[in-house]
Chains A and B, each alone.
Chain A
């Protein structure tokens, strides 16, 4: 990730030499900060800190965010094991053992091969733990109750047609690589939406594609395409957003402003 490039200089960490000095360094770090740092890790890395010491054995159960990626499991090829089974067991174990605080953020990447029942279990858990920020590659019934941010990164032009009307609290929506439904005005139910990004999305033949959102402040729209080429010239993008301040468009398009 972004801050990794200074790592090489630190790689050879002193194990023996400085231990006395270091002994106290982090025992001073308040536990809440330790929990916060663990919450930023992929959940499997956070859990593995249980072997560090007796005090650390249960630290991970206080994490405020979860990060599951099936891709991480799939990579390893143990002969005769179904990685979907391992992943399922892992995820369910985490949900059972984690302390039942509210869930701040969930990253849940299934890479197209996870059973619906597991997705439902995770989303139900998220809904009942007040989830605020979700990043995922699954289009299902989202845990919408307290959701503020939804980042959907799917790719391959998957159909996207969920009902977005339950998302009363949603302020940030970021959609990447999906095929949007041809009926316009998909976002009008998002009364609190302030930031909307549509990256690399497509829509099948429509004459007008409408984005209307009463509270929208930032709109990013890039690499948008129409399926059905001959319509391209006549297609219009209509943006109705009275509070819009920043419009980031990268496409060649006719625009109709309704302000």
Chain B
């Protein structure tokens, strides 16, 4: 983004974002522009920048600080030359996910999807995949909040029909 560097000596422009529950967040412009949804809000509407409040209908204020923190850190990682060591990025990412429940992870996936930021979305969906891999059917149902609408007979039939997919595999 070309906008940030020249104005850094003066005051950094801020954009106000409004979470789903009405709470406001003042965010530096380059960070806000990491979100395609926010960016597209201003396209062809540059004059509006100053006092416009951008409503983020699908993002709860609970997740805003973490999400903004992710943008700040990852955009810094991207700009750095040479690129940061893999361990540093990994450490940040692990800390980011620590103590996040499955519910919170899911809500953040929905938020990242709404905000249309590929990097965050990829990161969070990868985390979701890691949480369900090699887990039992019951675990995965609980994770996704799926109600089993098969009768035991039906489930047995589906398993039998897909025997080729269950054969010869470790179930751990």
Chain A positions near chain B (C-beta within 8 angstroms): 1-7, 9-10, 13-15, 19, 22-30, 33-34, 36-37, 40-42, 44-45, 47-57, 72-73, 75-76, 78, 81, 83, 86-87, 89-90, 93, 245-246
Chain B residues with CB under 8 A of A76? 168-170
In the complex, chain B residues whose CB is within 8 Å of the CB of A54: 149-150
Q: Is B113 an interface residue, CB under 8 A from the partner?
A: yes
* Chain B residues whose C-beta falls within 8 Å of the C-beta of A40 in the assembled complex: 125-126, 129
Q: Chain A contacts of B138 at CB under 8 A? A: 15
Contacting residues of chain B (115-133) with chain A, CB-CB under 8 angstroms: 125-133
A50 contacts B142, C-beta separation under 8 Å: no
Once bound together, how far apart are the Cα atoms of A75 and B172, in whole Å?
12
Name B47-106 residues within 8 Å CB distance of A: 81-83, 90, 93-94, 97-99, 101-103, 106
Take A22-B142, A47-B162, A53-B149 as given contacts and tell me if A3 and B168 are in contact as well, using a CB distance cutoff of 8 Å.
Answer: no
User: Is A90 within 8 A of B164, CB to CB?
Assistant: yes
Q: Which of A3, A33, A49 contacts B140 (CB 8 A)?
A: A49
Cα–Cα distance between A27 and B148 once the two chains are bound (Å): 13
Partner of A89 from B148, B158, B164 at Cβ < 8 Å: B164
Would you mind naming 29 contact pairs between A and B with Cβ atoms under 8 Å apart? A2-B90, A6-B94, A6-B98, A14-B142, A19-B145, A24-B145, A25-B103, A25-B106, A29-B106, A33-B109, A37-B125, A41-B132, A41-B133, A48-B137, A48-B165, A51-B137, A51-B150, A51-B158, A51-B159, A52-B140, A52-B146, A52-B148, A53-B146, A53-B148, A73-B169, A76-B169, A90-B165, A93-B165, A246-B81
Report if A41-B169 is in contact (Cβ < 8 Å); known contacts: A13-B139, A52-B148, A93-B164.
no
Secondary structure at the B interface, as helix, strand, loop or mixed, is: helix
Residue from A27, A37, A45 in contact with B145 in the complex, judged by beta carbons closer than 8 Å: A27
Residues of B that sit less than 8 Å from A by CB: 81-83, 90, 93-94, 97-99, 101-103, 106, 109-110, 113, 125-134, 137-150, 155, 158-159, 162, 164-170
Contact of A22 among B83, B103, B133 (CB under 8 A): B103
Knowing A27-B145, A76-B170, A87-B168, the reply to whether A3 touches B102 (Cβ < 8 A) is no
- Do the beta carbons of A52 and B141 come within 8 Å of each other? yes
Residue in B closest to A91 when the chains form the complex, CB atoms: B164
Question: Chain B nearest CB: distance from A67 CB in Å?
Answer: 10
